[in-house]
Structure formats: C-alpha cells, structure tokens
Amino acid sequence: MTDSLPAASTPAVPAQPPAGSPASTLLLFSWLSAAIFSLYIVIFYGGAALLGTMERDWNEVLPRLYARAATTANLMIGMHFVTGAAMLVLGPVQFMSGIRTRWPAAHRWSGRVYLACAALAGVGGLAYLSLRDPVGGQVMALGFGLYGVLMLLSCAQTLRHALARRMCEHRAWAIRLFTLGLGSWLYRMEYGLWLNALDWPGHATGTFDGPFDLVMDFFYVPHLLVAEYVIRRRPALPGSVMKAAGAACAMLLAVVTWLFASAYWLPHMRDQLARLA
C-alpha cells in the first residue's frame, strides 16, 4: 500500500524498520497477536452465527450487542467484525519491507483489500450505532462514532494521496489508519489487563458507564498520539533508546499475548469448534 518515499523538504515519515531490528520484531509480534485475535473473532462470533447462538455468545462478551429483532443492525456489526478481523491480519503486512520490495504487486493488492475492509468496517460500525444504542449509552456512542468517522477519513486520505503519488502524505495517513485498525485488538487487551490482571476499579459490569469505561470510550486517542509522534518524530530519541523501547515492547506483547491466548482466546475457539463439529 505504501511505495518508496521521495525526498521532501517536509519532515519525512520514518522509514520502514529493517529486518531483524527490534521495531521489525515488534511488528512481527503485533501481527502474530492480532492474527490470533482475528481467528478468535471469526471462529467465536462466526461460529455463533452458524449455530444460532448469537444471543448467548455475543451478549456474553459484549452485553446487549445482539438483538433478535434487529436484523439490519446485526448484519452491520457482523460486517464490522469480519472486515475488522481482516484489517488486523492485513495491516502489519503493509509495513513489512520484505513483502513490499520483493512482491510489490502483492503489496499493492493487499493494500487495496485492506482499504476496502477499512471502509466496510467503518460503515458497519457507524450503521450499527445509528440503528441501536450501545450498552454504554451516549458517551460510548459518541466515542465509538468518532472512531468510525476517523477510520473512514483515514481510509479516504490514504487512498487519495496514493492516487496522487504523494507518498509521504500517503504513508502518514496509512500509519494513522493502521493505528485505528489495531484499535479493537488493543481495546480488548487494555480492558483485560485492567480488569483481570490488575483488578483495578472503574468498570461498571453490564452497563459500561463507570469511570474507566468512559475513558475507554475514546480508547483510540492515546494510540493516535503515539502514531503522530512516530510520523513527526519530535523530539527524536537516540537510536539506542528506540531499540531498547522496541525490544521491551516486543517482550511485553509476547507475554501479554500468551496470557490472553492461553486463558481466553484459544479455549473459546476450542469450545466453539467442538460445538461446530
């Protein structure tokens, strides 16, 4: 999806991480973790749709997500789930320099599919919010609605700059879109760490309107701030600091992914596959 960056007088978007660097290792671990989570989404939620147990399974994880009579809303959130899962798998691939340089055609076509999935995920989420009130009330509707708008904006800007061959701007918006695309995965991870690992307060079970829940309605804001730092690189940190930070984040991500996968994602996938068999 991103092409070679031309020289520019404006601050350049950081180059893709070289193979073997801590940044590339972090990207690989992010892809593996997101891929496992995507597989969980497809098997658990898709399996519930095939089994006709959406009211039980969907609402067990996300209260009031599914309503038997709300057919259109259910289809829209289902589209949001499927295309969002595809985004998680395809997103890191766009920034893998090996694929980009060795198979540029595959890179471009996967980028087009990624943008299509982003557009469908944004439309599906916004359509669902227009048809049903979320469990967390108006604040959640506002936060999640803004998330969908930003997703569509980033998708449109990424495509617009690519078509105009403005590659610096294209890649900057691609980073923003990639960050937003990781949102559902990071949202689950952050909630799980806060509630299960740390057992900290602020969550209102069943209503999602506690203090922590209200903050998490805008979960994507810190992620976008990090993305803007990466894009603008102000102030630039020494290379040794960046390497240490990348290695530490990669190790933390590996541990957290193992905890989530072993305790939650893999058991749910196993049980759902057993019911489908």
Q: How far apart are CA 21 and CA 146, in angstroms?
A: 35
* pLDDT at residue 235, as a whole number: 53
- Residue 121 contacts residue 90 (beta carbons within 8 Å): no
- Please give the average per-residue pLDDT across 136-144, as a whole number: 96
**Residues in Cβ contact with 275 at an 8 Å cutoff, skipping those fewer than 6 apart:** 47, 51, 53
pLDDT digits (tens, 9 = 90+) for 121-131: 999 999 999 99
Reading phi first (left if > 0) and then psi (alpha if -120 to 50, else beta), residue 201 is in beta
- Enter the DSSP assignment of 94: G
- Residue 52 contacts residue 92 (beta carbons within 8 Å): no
pLDDT digits (tens, 9 = 90+) for 165-198: 998 999 999 999 999 999 888 998 888 888 876 7
Q: How far apart are CA 277 and CA 270, in angstroms?
A: 11
Taking all residues of the chain, what is their mean pLDDT, rounded to a whole number? 86
Of all residues in the chain, the percent with pLDDT exceeding 90 is: 56
State the burial class of residue 34 (Cβ atoms within 10 Å of its Cβ: 0-12, 13-18, 19+). buried
Higher local confidence (pLDDT), 205 or 55? 55
Reading phi first (left if > 0) and then psi (alpha if -120 to 50, else beta), residue 264 is in alpha
Q: How far apart are CA 153 and CA 241, in angstroms?
A: 33
Domain map (residue ranges) of the chain = 22-269
- Enter the DSSP assignment of 18: P
* pLDDT at residue 160, as a whole number: 96
Tokens linked to 238? 């020494």
Residue 144 backbone phi and psi in degrees, to 5: -70, -35
- Residue 195 contacts residue 254 (beta carbons within 8 Å): no
Cis-peptide into 222, omega within 30 deg: no
pTM for this entry: 0.86
Complete DSSP assignment for 148-178: HHHHHHHHHHHHHHHHTT-HHHHHHHHHHHH
pLDDT digits (tens, 9 = 90+) for 76-105: 999 999 999 999 999 988 887 777 788 888
Element (H, E) at 117: helix 104-131
Whether residue 13 is predicted with pLDDT greater than 60 in this model: the reply is no
pLDDT digits (tens, 9 = 90+) for 192-223: 888 876 777 899 888 999 999 999 999 999 99
